[in-house]
Amino acid sequence: MSASTRPRGAFDLAAKQARVDELEAQSAQPDFWTDQRGAGKILREAEGLRDEIATWTSLIQRADDLLELSQLADEEGETDMAAGLDAEFTTLSAEYRRLRTSLMFSGDYDQHDAILTITAGAGGTEATDWAEMLLRMYLRWAQRHKFATEIIDQLEGEEAGLKSVTVGIHGRWSYGFLRAERGVHRLVRISPYDSQKRRHTTFALVEVLPEVEDDTEVGEIPEDELKVDTFRSQGAGGQHVNKTDSAVRLTHIPTGIVAQSQNERSQHQNREFAMKVLKARLLERRLEERERELATLRGEHVEAGWGNQIRSYVLHPYQMVKDHRTDYETSATNDVLDGDLDAFMLAELERTATTDLPVTADA
């Protein structure tokens, strides 16, 4: 495999071990626990790397042993070993296919939790219903992976569905997976809201941000750079949230970036969640600025704007979900809408993994 096609970090176990050694040296410092939050992050990273190294080392050793046994069986004509060797090869192949996903998580924030926002496009009730369908799809996907989820903010449609919704998705690699979903999602179906049963095409925008884990990644935001508005919650949460000004909207004055939360019962909790979203959007802005300057931070990049449709979900006149970046498609539309998204995500991660590195001189 050439340097132009190898995913970053693939099998670079020596570099991973060097990072573990570096983290362990930090944890041995006398003042390590002064910053407990930072210390916890270091320990989690070291533990994850040690697990990854052990897993790949074991898999590589098993593959080497299998190769030696296979060569020995061929040399000595041991045909009765063939069935056992084939079974071990099948087991190793299945394990490799499962583990190889981690090779594609090469971004700086792929291990982070994710903040996912769905915004309905034009089209009234049909569009807000599609946004709610997408929310259900991603919640079901998260459930399949045993990721925790929480609704941070939502704005309901006038008749049905959602105009917008922001969800926190918590679990290792959640951002790494979901970054493949950024873009416009298109639905084609016979609208249940059209009395004449006509076919409708509608759109929704999916944005995915990495959750910022500590203040060192974005920095403290001075209070004089924030405009804070409170208002009565409009979404789910019961009567209590609708009777008090518990919802919080934060505006970052220098950039105009806005974040809000209204699904918690207390103003303090909503401000905390809104701050998480704001920092994630500031981080995304910083990354995009670096992309424009370097054009190599994450390789080819598709802006999550209305002009960039990434996937179509066709329910009429035929059943088909197709990703326009990878050409991966399936007719199992119900399964996809029920959260069976991994094949689409992995196809996009594989596509971008082969373009993340520039071609080197010795490729």
Structural fold of domain 108-363: Alpha-Beta Plaits (3.30.70)
| Mean pLDDT value of segment 62-66 | 91
| Mean pLDDT value of segment 181-185 | 94
- Tens digits of per-residue pLDDT, 6-56? 334 445 788 889 999 999 999 999 999 998 877 887 887 788 788 888 888
Contacts (Cβ under 8 Å, ≥6 apart) of 139:
149, 167, 339
13-104 — its CATH code?
1.20.58
Position 215 scores a pLDDT of 53
**Low-confidence winner among 63-72, 83-92, 284-293, 295-304 (lowest mean pLDDT):** 295-304
Helix (H, G, I), strand (E, B) or coil at 276: helix
Task: Say which residue the tokens 């496009």 belong to.
Answer: 121
Domain boundaries, the chain: 13-104, 108-363
Position 306 scores a pLDDT of 55
Q: How many CA atoms lie within 13 A of 185 on its CB side?
A: 26
Nearest to 183 by CA among 291, 275, 300, 314: 300
SS (H, E, C) 144-159: HCCCEEEEEEEEECCC
Position 355 scores a pLDDT of 53
Position 272 scores a pLDDT of 86
Position 238 scores a pLDDT of 39
**Low-confidence winner among 38-42, 183-187, 279-283 (lowest mean pLDDT):** 38-42
First to last CA, the chain: 9
Overall pTM surpassing 0.75 (yes/no): no
Position 299 scores a pLDDT of 41
Nearest to 230 by CA among 281, 264, 189, 182: 264
Q: What is the mean pLDDT of the chain?
A: 82
Pairing relationship of beta strands 114-120 and 199-210 according to DSSP bridges: antiparallel
**Low-confidence winner among 1-10, 198-207, 342-351 (lowest mean pLDDT):** 1-10
108-363 and 13-104 share a CATH fold: no
Q: Residue 27 in contact with residue 39, Cβ under 8 Å? A: yes
